[in-house]
Structure 1
Amino acid sequence: MNFDFISKTALFRGCSEEDVQKMAKHLDFKTVCYKKGTTIYEEGNITTNIGLVLSGSVQIGHDDFWGNQSILSIVKAGGVFAEAYACIPEEPLMIRVAANENCEILFINVPKLFLPCTACGVQNRLIQNLLTISAQKNLQLSKRSLHTSPKTIRGRLLSYFSQLISEQGSSKIVIPFDRQQLADYLNLDRSALSKELGKMKQDGLIDYRKNVFEIKKANI
Structure 2
Amino acid sequence: MNYSKLSETKLFRGIEKSSIERLLSDCNVVQKSFEKDEIIVFEGDECTSIGIILEGLVDIKKVLSSGKEYTITTLYPGDTFGEAVIFSSSNTFPAMVIAKCRTVILFLSKESIINLSKKSERFLYNFLNILSDRILLLNSKLKESTFITLRQKICNFLLEEYKKQKSFKIKLPLSKYELAEKFNVQRPSLSRELIKMREEGLIDFWGKEIWIKNLEKIEDYLFESS
TM class by shorter chain equals: 0.7 to 0.9
Q: Distance in 1 between matches of 2:61 and 2:8?
A: 26
1:159 is matched with 156
Give the distance between the partners of 1:13 and 1:210, measured in 2 at CA.
Answer: 35
- SS of alignment partner, residue 13 of structure 1: coil
Conservation of the 8 A alpha-carbon contact between 1:69 and 1:184: no
CA distance in 1: counterparts of 2:28 and 2:98, whole angstroms: 22
Deviation at 1:144, TM superposition (A): 2.1
| Residue aligned with 1:52, SS | strand
- 1:137 Cα shift? 0.6
2:192 corresponds in structure 1 to: 195
CA distance in 2 between counterparts of 1:198 and 1:99 reads 34
Shift of 1:160: 0.8
Please give the TM-score of this superposition, normalised by the length of structure 2: 0.84
Give, in whole Å, the separation in 2 of the partners of 1:34 and 1:171: 39
Q: Is the 8 A contact 2:84 2:134 kept in 1?
A: no
Q: 1:25 to 1:188 in 2, by over 3 A?
A: farther
Residue 89 of structure 1 deviates from its aligned partner by 8.0
1:114 aligns with 2:131: no
Q: CA RMSD in A?
A: 2.4
Change (3 A) 1:180 1:42: farther
The amino acid across from 2:197 in the alignment is M
User: How much does 1:167 deviate?
Assistant: 0.7
Alignment equivalent of 2:136, drawn from 136, 139, 142: 139
Tell me the distance in 1 between the aligned counterparts of 2:100 and 2:206: 22
Shift of 1:146: 1.8
1:148 correspondence with 2:145: yes
Partner amino acid, structure 2, of 1:105: I
Letter in 1 for 2:119: G
Q: What is residue 77 of structure 2 aligned with on the other side?
A: 77
Give the distance between the partners of 2:102 and 2:110, measured in 1 at CA: 25
Provide, for residues 143-183 of structure 1, a one-character-per-residue CA deviation record: whole Å limited to 9, x for no partner: 12222322111110010110011011112222222233222
Aligned residue in 2 for 1:42: 42
Per the normalisation by structure 1, the TM-score is: 0.86
Question: Secondary structure at 1:87's aligned position in 2?
Answer: coil
Structure 1 segment 202-217 matched on structure 2, within 5 A: 202-217=199-214
Partners of 1:100 and 1:209 lie apart in 2 by 27
1:102: which partner in 2? 102
Which amino acid is 1:78 matched to? G
Q: Which residue of 1 aligns with 2:64?
A: 64
Classify 1:42/1:24 alpha carbon distance in 2 versus 1 (closer, same or farther; 3 Å). Answer: same
How many residue pairs match? The answer is 217
Identity %: 27
Alpha-carbon distance between aligned partners in 2 of 1:65 and 1:31, rounded to the nearest angstrom: 33
Q: Which moved more, 1:37-46 or 1:177-186?
A: 177-186
Is 1:28 aligned to 2:28, yes or no? yes
Matches of 1:174 and 1:27, distance apart in 2: 41
**Structure 1 residue 120 displacement after superposition:** 4.2
Q: Secondary structure of 1:83's match? A: coil
Unaligned ranges ≥5, structure 1: none
Matched residues in 1 for 2:110 and 2:173: separation?
A: 29
Any unmatched runs of 5+ in structure 2?
219-226
The residue number in structure 1 matching 2:126 is 129
